[in-house]
Chains A and B, each alone.
Chain A
Amino acid sequence: MLNSKKTLTVLLTALLFSTVSFSQWLKPKGKGYYKISAWYLNTNQHYTDSGDIDPNVTRGYFNLNFFGDYGISDNLDIIAYVPFFSRTHRNDVLSGTTGKVIAKGEVFNSIGDIDIGIELKFLKTRKLALSGGIFLGLPTGNSSGGSDKSFQTGDGEFNQLVRVNFGIPFSISEVPFYSKAYLGFNNRTKNYSDEFRLGLETGLNILNNKVWLIGRSDIIKSLKNGSLNAQNNQGNIFANNIEYVSLGGEIAYYISKKFGISFYYAGALSGRIIAANPSYSLGVFLDIK
């Protein structure tokens, strides 16, 4: 099975992070991969609409999320990403001259936007796997939280991501590797712009199948066909036309044949209207093979 992703729409950020089951392909019938993760982003700078990096007051985004991938049949998986607790905060701003608080910080807690989807096997040979999926982004988060409505744990829109995945297994010096890629189109509603998505990933399995090392890059390109902007929304928008190229790395360690822990690090190499700081994710997983 290929990656499942969830874009967390947080402030301007919406920095994508990925959760993954380390087997490359769809789950066999009755098998599954389940993971509980804590994800964190602390950001004091962002990419502007021109791609420059500007400072911003420090904001933190944290969530606890569940990811599950279950094989309904050998050819069909059901996938869910549930950020069951999302927390955003903004730092106090203090005068460097007087030491007094200029702007008081704030915290907002909510559930995040839930993704659910299915993935269907098209082809699987010893050298190639092809699959496709559709993922629905449910607006279960809060799109106007906090005193100034900027403490958002969701974008408030229902989106549909259609994705095609390609994967190949191979080995180098008897070390098992895989590489995979996906192409996707995300249809967004409520006047947000649609998006093209592209992802590349490669991983290797070492230490007698105990450790996965994975590198991953995601690219989001906005079609800029959504009319939502500050002009028609009383100056208050939440990050339409986000674009970025991110690079991340993950290490997963199987404590036993079924249980393991993973750590993921990702950051945007370039982007527009997105955080310019890295995010981190730490999780425990159950892999029923």
Chain B
Amino acid sequence: MNRISFSSLLVCILFFFGCIGEDIVNDEVDPEVRILNPVNSISVSEMYQFNATFFNNVGQPEPVSISWSSSNESVAAINNNGLINAISEGQTTIKAIVSYNSTTIETDTAITVITGTVDQSLDTKSGTIISTSGYELTGDFTLKMIENTNNLQLTLGSSYKASSSLPGLYVYLTNNPNTVANAYEIGPVTIFEGSHTYTIPNVGINDYSYLLYWCKPFGVKVGGGDINN
């Protein structure tokens, strides 16, 4: 076989067997508007700025117009920028509302207006990890802001256990449990049993809704858990 025909044969072989194809994943999630800094209570005459983000049908933050409302404006009024003004003692429900693809998506948070000093205790969230694959993955976790910082602490409980057979197992925070696109990569998993913690810089406790364990080389979800209040 001469050089030209051998080269042609090689090109043909590589064309058929060495080309990158396409895998399509179902990554659709329910769109969501989320208040990122809810509070339980504020003092009479105080003002508080709510922040909310809209996450689209792939869990990606998308800039849209968010409108706000208060169910009891005699207790607290809120403007279109999410700035609340506490007027009198009582309870009200604050709603953040988005119009998206001809549907209305909203979320709410209850707030109490009190007289006196508000206890600004730090929020804690938690969840349970379950395996969604053939690999062992189980345990409980908590998320908590580290006091006087913008850092988040993820703590895996003593019941945590993961298979050490997987190559390239990583842990993420995400708003879409089907993909690591737009996810926050915490890092590779190097502890496979027992309690341990991760410090996650510059991430808020409400920024993500799901703790995800993902095998990078396989490109698949291994398991994870919803982040619950």
With A48-B134, A148-B217 as contacts: A91 and B20 at CB distance below 8 Å: yes
Given A48-B134, A230-B189, check contact A57 B220 (CB 8 Å): yes
Residues on A with C-beta less than 8 A from B179 are 93, 95, 102
Give complex CA distance A45, B100 in Å: 37
Task: Give the top 7 A-B pairs by smallest Cβ distance, nearest first.
Answer: A57-B219, A52-B134, A48-B134, A235-B188, A49-B165, A150-B217, A105-B20
Chain B residue nearest to A48 (CB atoms) is: B134
A40 to B13, CA, bound (A): 10
A-B contact pairs, 18 of them (CB 8 A): A12-B218, A50-B136, A51-B134, A53-B134, A55-B220, A57-B219, A58-B21, A58-B23, A90-B20, A91-B21, A91-B23, A94-B24, A102-B180, A102-B181, A103-B180, A105-B20, A148-B217, A230-B165
Interface residues on B, range: 35 or more
Chain B proximity mask over A78-122: 1 for CB below 8 Å, otherwise 0: 000000000101111111111000110111000000000000000
Q: Which of A93, A97, A235 is B58 in contact with, Cβ under 8 Å?
A: A97
For residue A72, which residues in chain B have a CB less than 8 angstroms away from its CB?
Answer: none
Do A103 and B134 form a contact, CB below 8 Å, given A91-B22, A97-B28, A230-B166?
A: no
Q: Residues of B contacting A42 with CB < 8 Å?
A: 17
Cβ A54 vs Cβ B25 within 8 A: no
Given contacts A50-B134, A93-B25, A95-B25, is CB(A56)–CB(B20) below 8 Å?
Answer: no
Interface, chain A (partner B; CB < 8 A): 11-12, 38, 40, 42, 44, 46, 48-58, 60, 62, 64, 87, 89-98, 102-103, 105-107, 148, 150, 229-231, 234-239, 241, 272-273
The chain B residue with its CB closest to the CB of A85 is B10
Residues of B contacting A238 in the complex (Cβ-Cβ under 8 angstroms): 167
A44 x B17 contact (CB < 8 A): no
- Please tell me if the beta carbons of B135 and A49 are within 8 angstroms of each other in the complex: yes
CB of A126, distance to nearest CB on chain B (Å) = 41
Q: Known A57-B219, A95-B58; judge A230-B167 contact (CB<8 A).
A: yes
A-facing mask of B9-35, CB < 8 A → 1, else 0?
010011001111111111110000000
